[in-house]
A and B are shown apart, each in its own frame.
Chain A
Amino acid sequence: MTAPPATATQGAPARLLRRILLQGRYESLTMLRNGEQLILAAVLPLLALVGLTVTPFLDGFGASRINVAVPGILALCAMSTAFTGQGIATGFDRRYGVLRFLSTTPLGREGLIAGKVLAVLAVLCLQVAVVALVALPLGWQPPASGWLPGLTLLALGAVAFTALGLLVAGTVRPEATLAITNLLWILLGALGGIVIPAERLPALAQGAVHYLPSGALGEAMREAFLHGSLNGGAALILLLWTVLAGAAAIRWFKWN
């Protein structure tokens, strides 16, 4: 076909920012309307929070159990939404051809991924608010200087886990994505250094846990919300996971 003269009525894209914001809003609402996602994103982390405040697992790491528990729970929230939640949603979107269809609209593949990251960050903001609303009455006292490094690294962790979730969702069948991301959520949640510090884990696991995204995010969050400082090593490991998982997802993600 030859290019036609431009007319006032022919199709034209909305602005890039508008397209990404729209997709982010759409994906956020879809996540929030999904009951299973809500259990994963809010109910299970809050149950874990309560569990950790009534058991002695975290004794000896800070002034109170709640102060040690909340940073890990925030990290768990990021993993729930970005890795398991977004991974499963993307896997099934791929199965149903939703990714292919949206990539033919002006949103395109890049806009779709940006929208997904935006949705993860938006839902994570709500999770932080809910966890804080529950934890503050229970006696959580985060240092004021911890919020900036804490939230920054939480966002970085969410991006790293989104890249990992998309890598799984884009390379295996959705049923396998469901199994892998749920299993890893349990394994990393219990033994990945995310809510229970590496020092409390079996000696064999301690060395490796620091290099896992879960361990790095858990440590970074505890450093920020217990001591008000930035854990540079953990930040570097999270950045590395983001770059590696992002590059792998770009390389191997199958849209069909």
Chain B
Amino acid sequence: MLRVVNGVSLMAERGQVTALLGANGAGKTTTIECAQGLQKRSGGSISLLGQDPGRAGAELRSRVGVMLQDGGLPPSARPIPLLRHIAGMYARPRSVDDLVGRLGIDTFARATVRRLSGGQKQRLALAAALIGNPEVLFLDEPSAGLDPQSRQLVFELISELRAAGMGIILTTHLMDDAQRLADYVYIIDAGRNVAEGTVSQLLQRDPVVEAGTDHVRTLVFEAPPGLDFTGVLPDAIAVSETRAGSYVASGALTPRDLASLTAWWAAHDVMPGSMSLAARSLEDVFLDISGKDIR
């Protein structure tokens, strides 16, 4: 028996977006497919709306919307007849016309699924998942293949559904998606969850700085190549030249550190070509936790 997932424990609430974050092959899809009842699990327990999804009947399935990673839509179908067909499986479906208009499906309504772009397929798959008016929505990599406009559209819709009380569980390997959408994040690595929390809790989780002190920030600046910043900043904050003339300083930077750095620039008559200061991203946290090796 192959254990793909062994040690994942998570809970998703109504009116929240819960994200499963992990690299490709971490076990995200396996986890949510078990939760959807699509895969049999060899152990553990899952409760979906108070029921075992492995034994889900039509009543439970009608309350749960699923958007699969590969879409799962028949290639020869046209979008609107397909949505009407799926809507027929429910007693109280959403309006097909509303969803079609909202997700811009009318712009490609005459094409068959096999001719749609990746983003169009994603929007259609999202409409198919929502058509039954579910209380819980599973989204497997919802922004894969979406252009920026479609992504914005999908994100706005997800936010609205959350505000309306829907429980949304999404998997993604895109940190930015999780950072923008998720109320609560589980980081999955090698089949187990290795960290969890709200986005701000995860951002405060820091391998260098003790809890209660400042967040880690990253300062990036362009200056003449080959400068030596030894002794300018505290030892815990290393300044490295990532490529000729591009410097990165990362750590618990304080206003005093910034003053030291700018004073050094003034003393040496260095005017940076550009500079930016950013808080740690979820991606930094993720890489800290799961390591930087390619799996």
- A interface residue numbers (CB < 8 A to B): 1-4, 8-16, 18-19, 22, 26, 30, 33-34, 92-93, 96-108, 111, 255-256
CA distance A124 to B53 in the complex (A): 36
Give 1 or 0 for each of B43-56: 1 = CB within 8 Å of chain A CB.
00001111100000
Contact present for A11 and B90 (CB under 8 Å): yes
B90–chain A nearest beta-carbon distance, Å: 6
A11 in complex: contacting residue of B36, B88, B134, CB < 8 Å: B134
CB neighbours of B57 from chain A (8 A): 108
B38–chain A nearest beta-carbon distance, Å: 6
Known: A10-B63, A13-B61. A98 touches B74 (CB 8 A): yes
Which of A11, A26, A102, A106 is packed against the most chain B CB atoms within 10 Å?
Answer: A11
Which of B57, B65, B70, B72 is packed against the most chain A CB atoms within 10 Å?
Answer: B72
Contact present for A106 and B76 (CB under 8 Å): no
CA distance A93 to B75 in the complex (A): 9
Residue B89 at the chain A interface, CB threshold 8 Å? yes
Residue B71 at the chain A interface, CB threshold 8 Å? yes
B89 in complex: contacting residue of A4, A13, A99, CB < 8 Å: A13
Contact present for B71 and A101 (CB under 8 Å): yes
B14 in complex: contacting residue of A1, A16, A34, A99, CB < 8 Å: A1
CB neighbours of B100 from chain A (8 A): none
B226–chain A nearest beta-carbon distance, Å: 54
Give 1 or 0 for each of B113-136: 1 = CB within 8 Å of chain A CB.
000000000000000100011111
Residue B62 at the chain A interface, CB threshold 8 Å? yes
A18 in complex: contacting residue of B63, B88, B132, B167, CB < 8 Å: B88
Contact present for B89 and A107 (CB under 8 Å): yes
Contact present for A105 and B132 (CB under 8 Å): yes
Known: A1-B50, A106-B132. A100 touches B62 (CB 8 A): no
Known: A3-B50, A104-B66. A14 touches B74 (CB 8 A): no
CA distance A103 to B49 in the complex (A): 18
Contact present for B47 and A22 (CB under 8 Å): no
Which of A1, A18, A96, A97 is packed against the most chain B CB atoms within 10 Å?
Answer: A1
Known: A13-B59, A104-B38. A1 touches B74 (CB 8 A): no
- B interface residue numbers (CB < 8 A to A): 11-14, 36-39, 47-51, 57-59, 61-66, 68, 70-77, 85-86, 88-92, 128, 132-136, 167
CA distance A255 to B86 in the complex (A): 19
A97 in complex: contacting residue of B49, B59, B68, B90, CB < 8 Å: B68
Contact present for A9 and B92 (CB under 8 Å): yes
Known: A9-B133, A13-B59. A30 touches B76 (CB 8 A): yes
B76 in complex: contacting residue of A12, A33, A105, CB < 8 Å: A33
Smallest CB gap from A25: residue in B: B85
Contact present for A101 and B72 (CB under 8 Å): yes
CB neighbours of B72 from chain A (8 A): 96-102
CB neighbours of A19 from chain B (8 A): 58, 88-89
A96 in complex: contacting residue of B12, B75, B132, CB < 8 Å: B75
B184–chain A nearest beta-carbon distance, Å: 13
Contact present for A22 and B85 (CB under 8 Å): yes
CB neighbours of A26 from chain B (8 A): 85
Contact present for B68 and A100 (CB under 8 Å): yes
Contact present for B76 and A14 (CB under 8 Å): no
Can you report 8 A-B residue pairs in the complex whose CB atoms are below 8 A from each other?
Answer: A1-B50, A4-B14, A96-B70, A101-B68, A101-B72, A104-B64, A106-B90, A106-B132
Contact present for B36 and A104 (CB under 8 Å): yes
CB neighbours of A10 from chain B (8 A): 63, 92, 133, 135
Contact present for B132 and A1 (CB under 8 Å): no
Contact present for B90 and A96 (CB under 8 Å): no
CA distance A16 to B91 in the complex (A): 11
CB neighbours of B85 from chain A (8 A): 22, 26
CA distance A144 to B48 in the complex (A): 56
CB neighbours of A99 from chain B (8 A): 72
Contact present for B167 and A1 (CB under 8 Å): yes
Lowest 10 CB-CB distances: which A-B pairs, in order?
Answer: A101-B72, A3-B50, A97-B72, A13-B58, A104-B66, A12-B91, A106-B58, A13-B62, A11-B62, A97-B70
CB neighbours of A9 from chain B (8 A): 92, 133
Smallest CB gap from A26: residue in B: B85
CA distance A96 to B68 in the complex (A): 11
CA distance A175 to B232 in the complex (A): 66
A6–chain B nearest beta-carbon distance, Å: 10
B58–chain A nearest beta-carbon distance, Å: 4
